Homo-oligomer: A and B are copies of this chain.
Amino acid sequence: MEHVTVNFLRDDDLDAPVLIEGLPGIGHVGKLVAEHLIHELKAEKVAEISSLHFPPHVIVDEHGITHLVNNEIYRYERDGKATLFLVGDFQSNSAEGHYILAESYLDIAEELGVRRVYALGGYGVGHLVERPRVLSAVNMEHLRAEVEAAGGSFENAASGGMIVGASGLLLGLGEARGIEGICLMGETSGYIVDPKSADSLLSVLSRLTGIEVDHTSLQQRAADMEQIIANIQEAEEAKGREELSYIG
């Protein structure tokens, strides 16, 4: 069995210079942004990627139909050029698998003409964030000015740090192939799925790619999440007051 199996759903001669990766990670920020774009742009699924480095199970959908664990490539066409999206529910099971999968993603990307990858993710800070910054890293120095002009911050660079999994390796292994890599990380607590952080990230990404979409549904999810958090905080405060009055 191959380590990674790619099933292309259609042949395509269209040049696809850009790949946007939004696999699961901290706060699911990257995944929220990529899936929002796919939904708003009505992007089309063009490939399925399965691998023995994914968990060994199938997912049962609401009709009782099984689906092998996979990641997927979607395609959005505009002005005779395609933008690709890499999304899915899983990353690799193992350290070796992360490398093997990232090389496969880059193989597909090269085959489809990709010359730049946007790797989207979250940047966990351990507390709720009122105005999430979009922290950034690039795999070639000349990319930095462009990211800053679009509103990406490099304030994280001072504290070093590392980027784990597909996002990191797409930049690290992509560099050796001459593929530009820009990693955008929405600031997030790390405790919740964070559509507010995704909303911030999407704004920066739109300025970089020129792809504008409606933010309404993402902002609605962000508002819903704010309400949930407010309710929890209120309940905890009420409980605190109760305990105080009980003691008093």
* Interface: A244 (CB within 8 A): no
Per the 8 Å Cβ criterion, residues 6-62 of A in contact with B are 7, 50, 52-62
Q: How far is the CB of A246 from chain B (nearest CB, A)?
A: 29
Q: How far is the CB of A66 from chain B (nearest CB, A)?
A: 5
Closest to A169 in B: B56
Q: Given A68-B172, A138-B66, A172-B67, A99–B56 Cβ distance below 8 Å? A: yes
Q: How far is the CB of A230 from chain B (nearest CB, A)?
A: 29
Contact residue range for chain A?
35 or more
* Interface: A196 (CB within 8 A): no
In the bound assembly, the distance between CA atoms of A210 and B245 in angstroms comes to 71
Closest to A140 in B: B65
Q: Give chain A's interface residues, CB within 8 Å of chain B.
A: 1, 5, 7, 50, 52-69, 92-96, 98-100, 102-103, 136-141, 144, 154, 156-158, 160-165, 168-169, 171-173, 175-176, 181, 183
A66 contacts across to B, CB distance below 8 A: 137-139, 163, 168, 171-172, 175, 181, 183
In the bound assembly, the distance between CA atoms of A94 and B58 in angstroms comes to 16
User: In the bound complex, do residue A1 and residue B103 qualify as a contact, i.e. CB atoms below 8 Å apart?
Assistant: yes
User: In the bound complex, do residue B68 and residue A175 qualify as a contact, i.e. CB atoms below 8 Å apart?
Assistant: yes
In the bound assembly, the distance between CA atoms of A172 and B56 in angstroms comes to 10
A162 contacts across to B, CB distance below 8 A: 57-60
In the bound assembly, the distance between CA atoms of A161 and B66 in angstroms comes to 10
User: In the bound complex, do residue A157 and residue B56 qualify as a contact, i.e. CB atoms below 8 Å apart?
Assistant: no
Q: How far is the CB of A90 from chain B (nearest CB, A)?
A: 11
9 CB contacts below 8 A, A to B, read A1-B99, A7-B176, A52-B99, A56-B95, A56-B164, A57-B163, A58-B171, A66-B137, A69-B172
Q: How far is the CB of A60 from chain B (nearest CB, A)?
A: 5
Q: How far is the CB of A119 from chain B (nearest CB, A)?
A: 10
In the bound assembly, the distance between CA atoms of A102 and B57 in angstroms comes to 11
User: In the bound complex, do residue A157 and residue B57 qualify as a contact, i.e. CB atoms below 8 Å apart?
Assistant: no
User: In the bound complex, do residue A58 and residue B100 qualify as a contact, i.e. CB atoms below 8 Å apart?
Assistant: no
A94 contacts across to B, CB distance below 8 A: 95-96
